[in-house]
Structure 1
Amino acid sequence: MSTDAKPTDFSAARIHETAQQILTAGVLPAIVEAGHPVLRHEAAPFDGQLGEAELGQLIDLMRSVMHKAPGVGLAAPQLGIPLQLAVLEDQFEVDPEVAAARGREPLPFFAMLNPSYQPLGTAVAAFYEGCLSVSGLQAAVVRPESVRLDFTTPDGTRLQRDFTGWQARIVQHETDHLHGILYLDRAELRSISSNAEYSARWAQPDISHARQELGFLPDR
């Protein structure tokens, strides 16, 4: 998708300073909410703005924030740091029927730097998503069912991994964050629901009932 996101104007020094302020605060930082410009700029590629120890500390902190939220991914811009870094992990217990419908399997923790993804094949899937930076809402998003992720590990190794199902959705959602894209940019707008309405009506293994009742993704 094309995006109007402009590159962050944070210098390497300012990125370092911002990270240091968060790391030395002694408390878990708040998650930045939609409307903050840091979420709408393309984050800076990681290029040594943080030392090895600092990077490791930031990754550990981001993992703690993600667990507390709780969520399955967190990007550095969500802490106000415009750096192409995200952490991902999905170890939640999920109803077997839901897991089967969504292709949801546990995702072991990993951190990725400077990620990009490409669809594998033409298959797509639509499910409801939420976001830690968009409080109170859920919306259906059509995404490629499988993707190939190119990224750098914290130790500097460039890797390529393939993901499918819910893991692919998490990878795409978090990578998008680093390029100024929120899931609502890709969402079916007629599907947008409050958390309360989603829980009461649409928290089902798939979106078929919501699609019919709310009138999105109509049969063609």
Structure 2
Amino acid sequence: MLQPLHRLCRGHTRYLSTSLATPQSFRKWYQQLWTTKRTNLPPYNHFTQVGDPVLRDKAAEVPADYVNSKEIHAIIDQMVNVLRKYDCVGIAAPQIGVSLRIIAMEFKQGIKKDLSEATYKARQMSELPLTVMINPQLAVTDYTKHKHPEGCMSVRGFSAEVERYAAVKLTGLNREGSATELELSGWNARIAQHEMEHLDGKLYTDHMDRSTFMCTCWETVNTKSGRVEIPFYK
């Protein structure tokens, strides 16, 4: 299997053992009282969450010989599956626990019906067909900055205003390993910048307008007297 795939996330499920097996030392016995037990391995079918070390690592490039491999195709398939399951517009491989430089983006026309016409226009949104980029590189083509609310499925339940460049150019390899280039502007340029940051171990919270950071369901929390849960599955 492709070597970078072994950079697995650390699980946090604990189990308690109370038996003292001789001739183990007390220290070894004590260390085994609380141990890490993996019950689920990447590529995940959910979004990793802030705090997971994979989100702070700089992702490795996919070696040229592996670009068109079944392992990479399986990772891409899982990324697209998670992207669509959660009705998102962008995803990076670290968000499913795989520290490789792969992103996928898709802005469906149907999103428009969930937004006001004013919001859709102000944020310069437009349809973007499913786009997969392996080992992408980003160049800014319009340094004008726009500030809009932004969220992240790896910082579930929160959002903040973030400044992004107005237009960018992405270059990289498509799913089949062919060189590709894409010019993006408006909201789609924002998606690309957001996902590219994931590949460098960054989150939007690193450079957001901190005064605008908010829980996206704060009103519901008050209405329901705090009886609100933020799901991490779907």
- TM-score, with normalisation over the residues of structure 1? 0.76
Tell me the residue number matched to 1:128.
Answer: 149
Tell me the residue number matched to 1:163.
Answer: 184
**Native 8 Å contact 1:16 1:50 kept in 2:** no
**Given the superposition, is the C-alpha separation of residues 14 and 164 from structure 1 closer, same or farther in structure 2, using an over 3 Å criterion?**
closer
Is residue 153 from structure 1 mapped to residue 170 from structure 2 by the alignment? no
What is the number of residues matched between the two proteins? 185
Is residue 41 from structure 1 mapped to residue 62 from structure 2 by the alignment? no
**Given the superposition, is the C-alpha separation of residues 51 and 113 from structure 1 closer, same or farther in structure 2, using an over 3 Å criterion?**
closer
How far the C-alpha of 1:95 sits from its partner, in A, is 2.8
Aligned counterpart for 2:5 among listed residues 12, 15, 19? 15
How far the C-alpha of 1:51 sits from its partner, in A, is 5.2
How far the C-alpha of 1:70 sits from its partner, in A, is 2.5
Is residue 194 from structure 1 mapped to residue 215 from structure 2 by the alignment? yes
**Given the superposition, is the C-alpha separation of residues 51 and 120 from structure 1 closer, same or farther in structure 2, using an over 3 Å criterion?**
closer
| Separation in 2, partners of 1:113, 1:34 | 23
How far the C-alpha of 1:160 sits from its partner, in A, is 2.2
**Native 8 Å contact 1:143 1:169 kept in 2:** yes
Tell me the residue number matched to 1:73.
Answer: 90
AA aligned opposite 1:70: D
1:132-180 deviations in whole A, cap 9, x for unaligned? 1001110100010111112211222222221100000001111110111
**Given the superposition, is the C-alpha separation of residues 180 and 22 from structure 1 closer, same or farther in structure 2, using an over 3 Å criterion?**
closer
How far the C-alpha of 1:16 sits from its partner, in A, is 5.6
Aligned counterpart for 1:181 among listed residues 202, 219, 233? 202
AA aligned opposite 1:55: I
Aligned counterpart for 2:134 among listed residues 113, 117, 132? 113
How far the C-alpha of 1:96 sits from its partner, in A, is 2.1
**Given the superposition, is the C-alpha separation of residues 159 and 198 from structure 1 closer, same or farther in structure 2, using an over 3 Å criterion?**
farther
Tell me the residue number matched to 2:77.
Answer: 60
1:66-124 deviations in whole A, cap 9, x for unaligned? 11122111111011110001111111234322111110001110111111212113211
**Native 8 Å contact 2:172 2:179 kept in 1:** yes
**Native 8 Å contact 1:15 1:49 kept in 2:** no
Tell me the residue number matched to 1:30.
Answer: 46
Tell me the residue number matched to 2:226.
Answer: none
Gaps spanning 5+ residues in structure 2: where? Answer: 9-40, 222-234
**Native 8 Å contact 1:42 1:178 kept in 2:** yes
Gaps spanning 5+ residues in structure 1: where? Answer: 1-10, 201-220
**Native 8 Å contact 2:68 2:177 kept in 1:** no
| Separation in 2, partners of 1:110, 1:164 | 15
| Separation in 2, partners of 1:176, 1:36 | 15
Whichever of the two has the greater Rg, that structure is 2
Tell me the residue number matched to 2:107.
Answer: 90
How big is the alpha-carbon RMSD for the aligned residues of Structure 1 and Structure 2? 2.5
User: Identical aligned pairs, as a percentage?
Assistant: 30
**Native 8 Å contact 1:13 1:49 kept in 2:** no
